[in-house]
Amino acid sequence: MFICQISGPLLDESQVRSIVDEIKQVITASSSRKRERGDRAKAEDFDAEEGELLKEENEQEEELFEQIGDCLGTLIKTFKASFLPFFDELSTYLTPMWGKDKTAEERRIAICIFDDVLEQCREAALKYYDTYLYHLLDACSDENPDVRQAAVFGLGVCAEYGGSVFRPVVGDALSRLNAIIRHPNSTHPENLMAYDNAVSALGKICQFHRDSIDAAQAIPLWLNCLPIRGDLIEAKVVHEQLCSMLERSDGELLGPNNQYLPKIVAVFAEVLCAGKDSSNRANCKSNDQFVEAASANVATFNPRINLVIPATTAAARLAVNSVILSLTIPWLAHAASSLWGSTPPCSSHFCCIASILFLVMGRFHSAMLHCLGGRCVIGEVRRPERRNEVFDAYSVYITSGSERGAKS
């Protein structure tokens, strides 16, 4: 895999051919070893010690398959449609890995490889839909959550790029996604990634196949699942879709008489207030990764948050403010107290606090804050003079704190 990553674009056809032939041999040899282990497990003298050895060998075999998947994924992402002739040769080796008699890891890897083909080759991959799409649908109900995640991610890719080829299975796909989303244990930690990818796939069906579904039911279902809390990559995709729909005042999103507006603002508020206490932090491999993800969310929502307030009735504004208050008062109390602590709060936190406060007060024309180069810049607002002085003072405090931290 490492060789593929480093030298991918430099490989010529004969070298790619050599790699593909080696992968065929590795898969064939692995299948032979698996049969041998099956025969050993049936032997009369098979005992617990031998069982532990077989378990270790199986784990090593799964690691090998994961490396095969990574290598093929890199080749597909590098060469895209030009790799498809090689993929056609490999399909006879990969298709059996979808079988129920294979391990969950083998099934997941096989699906991920196909997902890469769908995502990277797009129109050129449409010819595979008749063969593989129904495998994806079937895998959506797999007992293993990692397999389900790979399957529903693939459905989302098919919805985005499949066009008319995907349209005949939209109803079946919605049924499978709905089963995952509405399952009583759907948001348990072990199922969360599959749930998030199912929500993302549902959003893509709503976006690219709205004429084939009952949007008045599907879009509120999708909205009710937001925000995405587990899969940070899909969170950016889904939340960006929400922003785009809001920008164009999507009728099904807002609902009759803007009845879904409080839920929309609740999503905005939760993402803005995620901060360091967000459940997403558990899915970040480092603090730097978390800060990057949180900053991306703030960058996505902050420039658009002022779109929520204009052109709404007084009752709608009251509902919006009530939702924000109920969600954010505990967090704001904690975050605001840190303004006077020994350590200056970061500018992203200040952006979250001030944006929500502006919205809750409800008397501002705009509630935009932009974090530019570590400085908090307050956008166009209408506020009493005293409030202006207070927030200007906060901005100076945050800016000076950031500069002091940079110097230290």
SS3 381: coil
* Residue (of 97, 123, 121) closest to 111 by Cα position: 97
Q: Higher-confidence residue: 229 or 293?
A: 229
pLDDT tens figures, 261-320: 888 878 877 776 664 444 343 333 333 443 344 444 444 444 444 444 333 445 444 554
Cα–Cα dist 84/294, whole Å = 38
Mean per-residue pLDDT of the chain: 75
How is residue 310 annotated by DSSP?
A: T
Q: Which residue has the higher pLDDT, 248 or 108?
A: 108
Per-residue pLDDT reduced to its tens digit, 323-377? 555 544 444 444 444 444 444 444 444 444 444 444 444 333 333 333 222 333 3
pLDDT value for 105: 93
Take residue 305 and report the two structure tokens written for it.
Answer: 């948050």
Q: What b/e readout covers 159-181, taking b as 16+ CB neighbours within 10 angstroms?
A: bbbbeebbeebbeebbebbeebb
pLDDT reported for residue 277: 41
Query: What integer is the mean pLDDT of 382-399?
Result: 40
- What global pTM score does this model have? 0.71
pLDDT reading at 218 higher than 50: yes
375 phi/psi in degrees, rounded to 5: -110, 140
Tell me: the pLDDT tens digits for 23-44? 999 999 988 988 888 888 888 7
Banded model confidence at residue 383, pLDDT cuts 50, 70, 90: very low
Percent of the chain with pLDDT over 70: 64
| 8 A C-beta contact, residue 210 and residue 165 | no
Predicted confidence at residue 264, as pLDDT, reads 85
Dump pLDDT digits (tens) for 82-135.
999 999 999 999 999 999 889 999 999 999 999 999 999 999 999 999 989 999
Residue 64: pLDDT above 80? yes
Q: Which two tokens stand for residue 204?
A: 């893509």
Residue 265 backbone phi and psi in degrees, to 5: -70, -35
